[in-house]
Amino acid sequence: MIPTVSDTDNPPDPPAPRLKRSLSLTLTTLYGLGTILGAGIYSLIGEVAGSAGMYAPVAFLVAALIAGFTGLSYAELAARFPRSAGEAVFVQEGLGWPPLSTLVGLLIVLTGAVSSALIQIIMASRVLYGISREGWLPAVIGRVHPRTRTPLVATAIITALVLVLAAPLSIRVLADTTSFIILVVYILVNLSLLRIKLRSPTATGVRPLPLWVPVTGLIASGGFVAMKLRELAAGIV
């Protein structure tokens, strides 16, 4: 008689560890404060005042308005698609082109690395993890440590990128680079929400925003990107 091997003799492989989802309201609030009130806001006030002079408060107000409209777009997109990789997922759902979605995710990672604050390292590593989990980057980047439940490989990559980028560049160059990248991402995020809302105006459990919100965010962000490109072109000429 030929012996048979039962399923119990070859148990299935254990599932791969996933991120530990344990953010309480307190931790989420502290995370938000850490993102908003990072070291950059204090070190850049002098740079802004040097460029805008007495209109520095107006510059901060305009920036807040642009971020506010796009922040509302983020809120609806996050409610519709609560997955890691954030902006990369939003652009994929709205525009449906994986190379562009991957590029957006990597741009967000780059801004986190350029910002070089600890809270941004955490954010950027989670985005890198999410892009890997979506299948747009090698799976090894999305590996999660079985005990700490954190993306160690992604965190190590971001930390190395911070050390390479942050040290040799001035604060002004870092701020200009980060701002330009963020505005480009804002354009794509608002455009993605606009297309999603045109296809599917409502979603279960999501409070939809008026259509003019992503339109306003798109126009405002696009206008400042156009101004920056014109300034760069004038400098080259």
Give pLDDT tens digits for 181-223. Answer: 889 999 999 999 999 999 998 888 899 999 999 999 999 999 9
Report the mean per-residue pLDDT for the chain. Answer: 80
Residues in the chain: 237
| Per-residue pLDDT band at 26 (split at 50, 70, 90) | confident
Distance CA 96, CA 111 (A): 23
Q: If DSSP codes are grouped into helix, strand and coil, which group holds residue 157?
A: helix
Distance CA 67, CA 210 (A): 17
What are the tens digits of pLDDT across the range 121-177?
A: 777 787 888 888 888 888 888 888 777 777 888 888 887 877 776 666 666 777 788
pTM beyond cutoff 0.75: no
| Per-residue pLDDT band at 16 (split at 50, 70, 90) | low
pLDDT reported for residue 170: 67
What is the number of other CB atoms lying within 10 angstroms of the CB of residue 165? 16
Q: Domain segments of the chain: what residues?
A: 38-236
Is there a contact between 225 and 183 (Cβ–Cβ < 8 Å)? yes
pLDDT reported for residue 35: 63
Range with lowest mean pLDDT among 6-15, 63-72, 228-237: 6-15
Once rounded to an integer, what is the mean pLDDT over residues 1-11?
A: 53
One-letter amino acid at 162 equals V
Q: What angle do CA 119, 120, 123 make, to 5 degrees?
A: 95
pLDDT reported for residue 100: 94
Q: Which residue has the higher pLDDT, 128 or 112?
A: 128
Residue 235 pLDDT greater than 90, yes or no: no
